[in-house]
């Protein structure tokens, strides 16, 4: 899922600030001090930067894989050992924790950075302004927090939140009973949507059983494939999605402001993540094309909608020796193409005379400066 597809969270509105190519990452001491004064409380006395990673569960392996893909392999010899190192980041300590404890420990100042699902950050962060999303789309752990009701009985013809709210059954004495593990976001969502007669119960798992057991009328839980809902005769409804979630990199604002090295480390992690994630969606395509000049070939390439590349095509002459003369009858074209548009791009290249099309995966794309870094500094007031 793309960041732009995430609904605007009340806590972490997604906003991108244009990049300034001349921007320097080093902030002056006075800038940091004045930002620090704006933040209440002090960070605890320690020198190392602490990054919390999921210790187990569905986020754990994917998180380590992502870091490895960014050349940030975590040296973790034993799964029962909760502290580890990333050799490339010498002042960083990795602490393995459950995702909800990562959020809690960011708030208590015991961690500086963490990776967890956006759902967990929103639920356990409870809108606390000290939590700051550094990267909102790490591209795994996709799911949504969604309200679901039975397909049968009194709910048979109910297909939206509005219809659910208007059912005459819910009164002060007999409210809509919702089972959820999201005891902060659940009540907030219902209140924000004008559902006043609601009561909540909670459990640690298998919530989908609650309606059939007669414990609840509806459930509010995470959905990814939708299989668990289907198997339990439940359905989602229009307007019932509380949030879309995926793994995010989150930080303590206090730490970033008061620890200079935390900000530098965050910058490096962010750059590596961005470079890898940007490259993930792209292929590098090279092809040869007959032409009279680079400009003429460029004109042909740019006449095709899928061939503009990241910043336009790179075109270079291919020199051949024929009859004792060196000439450039062919030109090599290099473009980056989104994976989704790959076949269309190959067709368009062929249509304008491209031959010998070679395609290779891209490993990293380092841009001049990442918009997320600029956005982070703005959020920090730097």
What are 166-171's contacts with CB under 8 Å, separation 24+? 170/195, 170/197, 170/198, 171/197
CB of 226 to ligand PRP, least distance (A): 5
Return left, alpha or beta for 68; rule: phi > 0 is left, psi -120 to 50 is alpha, else beta. Answer: alpha
Q: Closer CB to ligand ATP, residue 37 or residue 204?
A: 204
Q: Among 4, 78, 81, 225, which residue interacts with ligand PRP (rule: CB under 6 A)? A: 225
Which of these segments, 23-31, 170-178, 224-232, 294-302, binds ligand PRP (CB under 6 A)?
A: 224-232
- Residue 245 near which of ligand PRP, ligand ATP, none (CB within 5-8 Å, type-dependent): ligand ATP
Which of these segments, 116-124, 200-208, 250-258, 308-316, binds ligand PRP (CB under 6 A)?
A: 200-208
Q: Specify the DSSP element, H or E, that contains 283.
A: strand 282-290
Question: What are the distances in angstroms from CA 9 to CA 15, 101, 147, 324?
Answer: 11, 21, 17, 68
d(C-alpha 176, C-alpha 174), whole Å: 7
- Residue 226 near which of ligand ATP, ligand PRP, none (CB within 5-8 Å, type-dependent): ligand PRP
Q: Among 227, 311, 322, 360, which residue interacts with ligand PRP (rule: CB under 6 A)? A: 227
d(C-alpha 331, C-alpha 158), whole Å: 62
d(C-alpha 178, C-alpha 122), whole Å: 19
CB of 145 to ligand ATP, least distance (A): 9
Contact call for residue 355 and ligand PRP (CB under 6 A): no
Q: Among 110, 112, 217, 221, which residue interacts with ligand PRP (rule: CB under 6 A)? A: 221
- Rule CB under 6 A: which of 68-97 touch ligand PRP? none
Burial status of residue 28 (CB atoms within 10 A of its CB: 0-12, 13-18, 19 or more): exposed
d(C-alpha 1, C-alpha 143), whole Å: 10
Instruction: Give the interface with ligand ATP as residue ranges (CB under 6 A).
Output: 54, 57-59, 98-99, 117, 119-120, 141, 143, 222, 224, 245
């Amino acid at each position: 899922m793309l960041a732009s597809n995430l609904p605007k969270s009340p806590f972490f509105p997604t906003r991108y600030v244009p990049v300034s190519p001349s921007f320097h990452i080093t902030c002056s001491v006075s800038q940091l001090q004045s930002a620090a004064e704006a933040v209440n409380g002090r960070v605890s006395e320690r020198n190392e930067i602490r990054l919390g990673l999921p210790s187990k569960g569905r986020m754990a392996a994917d998180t380590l894989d992502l870091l490895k893909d960014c050349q940030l392999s975590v040296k973790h010899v034993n799964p029962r050992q909760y502290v580890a190192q990333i050799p490339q980041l010498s002042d960083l300590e990795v602490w393995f924790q459950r995702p909800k404890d990562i959020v809690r420990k960011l708030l208590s100042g015991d961690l500086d950075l963490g990776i967890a699902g956006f759902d967990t950050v929103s639920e356990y962060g409870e809108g606390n302004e000290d939590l700051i999303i550094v990267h909102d789309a790490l591209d795994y752990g996709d799911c949504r927090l969604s309200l679901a009701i039975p397909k049968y009985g009194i709910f048979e013809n109910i297909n939206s939140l509005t219809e659910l709210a208007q059912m005459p059954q819910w009164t002060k004495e007999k409210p809509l009973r919702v089972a959820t593990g999201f005891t902060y976001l659940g009540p907030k969502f219902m209140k924000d949507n004008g559902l006043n007669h609601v009561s909540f119960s909670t459990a640690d798992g298998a919530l989908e059983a609650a309606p059939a057991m007669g414990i609840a009328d509806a459930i509010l839980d995470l959905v990814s494939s939708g299989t668990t809902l289907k198997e339990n005769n439940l359905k989602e409804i229009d307007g019932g999605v509380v949030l879309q979630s995926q793994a995010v990199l989150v930080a303590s604002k206090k730490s970033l402001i008061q620890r200079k090295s935390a900000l530098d480390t965050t910058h490096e992690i962010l750059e590596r993540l961005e470079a890898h994630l940007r490259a993930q969606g792209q292929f590098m395509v090279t092809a040869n094309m007959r032409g009279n000049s680079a400009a003429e070939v460029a004109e042909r390439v740019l006449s095709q909608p899928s061939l503009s590349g990241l910043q336009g095509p790179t075109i270079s002459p291919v020199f051949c020796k024929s009859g004792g003369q060196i000439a450039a009858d062919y030109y090599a074209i290099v473009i980056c193409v989104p994976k989704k548009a790959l076949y269309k791009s190959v067709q368009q290249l062929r249509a304008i005379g491209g031959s010998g099309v070679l395609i290779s995966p891209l490993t990293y794309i380092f841009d001049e400066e990442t918009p997320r870094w600029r956005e982070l500094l703005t959020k920090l007031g730097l």
